[in-house]
Structure 1
């Protein structure tokens, strides 16, 4: 019996020592976790302030680039500051609740440890801040284009013998284009889309266009002309390779590339169809002003293709194009349309 009591006393002594040691370990772990939580409170404020600073800088940059107004910039700054303050308050509340939980159960820390939605081990993924680097990158963007300027024709490769008025012959173009970034630095981009072109040719010396079989020739009009103009309405698909450093901007979780505020150059060409050809005449006859619209084919080419290029800064470029097809299908002398003007991207 004495021997059995002695054994029990040894067992209780061993258990008591083990429990004491376990309690010390638990209390130490609880203390370490409390230190981590208190350190996390400082990190929360620092991270939110750094993130807010980046947002403010981005908003100010957008205002400087005239992408948003001063009033809109102020509104966004105030919204960002309010959101940051709310984030800090929410995260602090979570940390304080976890500190309180550990303090209440410091003797049994392992049984009460919870993860309340905020990282405590300084892991990059757990403490991830949603910044510009997390934005979804759009490599393809789109917008409207418009161009206008002077048009004319090369006669057997030279403009010296052109029978068309230099300042009176004009073109207008409008369309919609997509831009796709082709390299990681956004230095090279592909631009493609669809455009409507209106190309005009105004003859000199009181002449107008006449169909003579399969030929289109210029003849003198019987009375004094106030206006004579041949207009060709075309639908074309332009394709350009655009070079130049692009600017990346961020908006609502999306990153996009644009060449705004940057030097750019594009080379390429176009293919398309002639939709309509019309000649407008304006003259005075028997004391009355008359206007005529003669909607004929004038033997113009239905299929169009050519070369085009532009060079510019920001959204404005100097633009040139040259049609490889001849204006008139079967004329004895080749005439190729050319144009020079300004091009705008929106």
Structure 2
């Protein structure tokens, strides 16, 4: 190997060694940065744990005071329960902080082993009782944290869905003489409702309230359709044979019902709930709101072509909607009826009021 060749080889080896050394230093620096970041996060978590446990203790003491005010426990029993809660929370703080301190020491001693996985995370669980719920984010992942339930929850909420038959009661006519088909006319309702227990020590009387979207559809018979003549709405015969003539209104309403019926009290000691599962419920009330849309849909053939005509608005529908409603329920399923006290149209020779009958489902 001549002198020039040796120099080239030595240069390559030196450059490779320098590059590798620099890369190793960079990796070590990144590891140190990752470890320092995790240690800082753990130190911050220690303060959060103390604050969290104090907040949980505050909630537990409030629940004990509620039981004392309701005369379910004596003052002496309340003090003993508060003492036990304080001791438990103090022990929780001590144990959880010890876990954090051990994790910090583990990272300091074994940074080359435990800092290589940036996705590493761990979960702190205290108690394991299903009556606790909440979560926090640590190292980018969600973990369960236990939070005591509220002792008495007087208000609950659920999704409301109803579907069934729809028609109109017309002044001077029986329902049998209605110009709308019984089978083809229907309604649907979708909304959200809250239910609040009215009295402290009984769940027999409840107030149910919320908001709903109602879709009321009329299937028009005898080849007729709605016509607006100088703001007066009348049914007239269509010039050609209709395959379909339907009229639909869409309302946003705010129902309120007084609900009553038996329920079962479930007492868990540190909290209680009332259950109406498989119980008879009756709700009586009404609703008020606004009409937010109307549409007439016509289907027919003209010169061999199929025509679909959707006419939106212009039917002088009453903008303010209000009525009476009620339901008879067993569990979450109810027989449901509603009746609009307002006439469907502002100006018509004979007033007609929408009426609906169907099934209602209150889904928790």
Please say whether Structure 1 and Structure 2 have the same fold, judged by a TM-score greater than 0.5: yes
The alignment status of 1:144 with 2:159, answered yes or no, reads yes
Structure 1 pair 313–236 and aligned structure 2 pair: CA distance change class (3 A): same
- 1:99 counterpart residue number: none
Cα RMSD, aligned residues only = 2.4
The alignment status of 1:213 with 2:236, answered yes or no, reads no
- Deviation, 1:297, is 2.8
Matched position secondary structure for 1:300: coil
State the distance in 1 between where 2:359 and 2:316 align.
Answer: 29
- 1:270 counterpart residue number: 287
- 2:254 counterpart residue number: 237
State the distance in 2 between where 1:319 and 1:143 align.
Answer: 17
- 2:204 counterpart residue number: 187
- Deviation, 1:258, is 3.9
CA displacement 1:156-214 (0-9 Å, x = unmatched): 16423311111111000000000000122200100000000000111111111111112
Structure 1: any 5+ residue segments left out of the alignment? 1-122
- 1:344 counterpart residue number: 361
- 1:29 counterpart residue number: none
CA displacement 1:12-41 (0-9 Å, x = unmatched): xxxxxxxxxxxxxxxxxxxxxxxxxxxxxx
The alignment status of 1:170 with 2:183, answered yes or no, reads no
1:1-346 to 2 correspondence within 5 Å? 124-125=77-78, 128=81, 136-156=151-171, 158-183=174-199, 184-249=201-266, 255-346=272-363
CA displacement 1:283-340 (0-9 Å, x = unmatched): 2222222211101231110001110000020100000011110001111201011000
Matched position secondary structure for 1:160: helix
State the distance in 2 between where 1:302 and 1:251 align.
Answer: 49
Structure 1 pair 283–142 and aligned structure 2 pair: CA distance change class (3 A): same
Matched position secondary structure for 1:341: strand
State the distance in 2 between where 1:274 and 1:127 align.
Answer: 58
- 1:91 counterpart residue number: none
Structure 1 pair 290–268 and aligned structure 2 pair: CA distance change class (3 A): same
State the distance in 2 between where 1:251 and 1:236 align.
Answer: 38
CA displacement 1:219-278 (0-9 Å, x = unmatched): 111222121111100000000000101234579965443422111010000001000111
Report the TM-score, using the length of structure 2 for normalisation.
Answer: 0.57
Q: Is the 8 A contact 1:238 1:268 kept in 2?
A: yes
Q: Is the 8 A contact 1:170 1:201 kept in 2?
A: yes
Q: Is the 8 A contact 1:141 1:256 kept in 2?
A: no
State the distance in 2 between where 1:226 and 1:173 align.
Answer: 27
Q: Is the 8 A contact 1:155 1:161 kept in 2?
A: no
- Deviation, 1:127, is 5.8
Structure 1 pair 344–251 and aligned structure 2 pair: CA distance change class (3 A): farther
Structure 1 pair 125–193 and aligned structure 2 pair: CA distance change class (3 A): closer
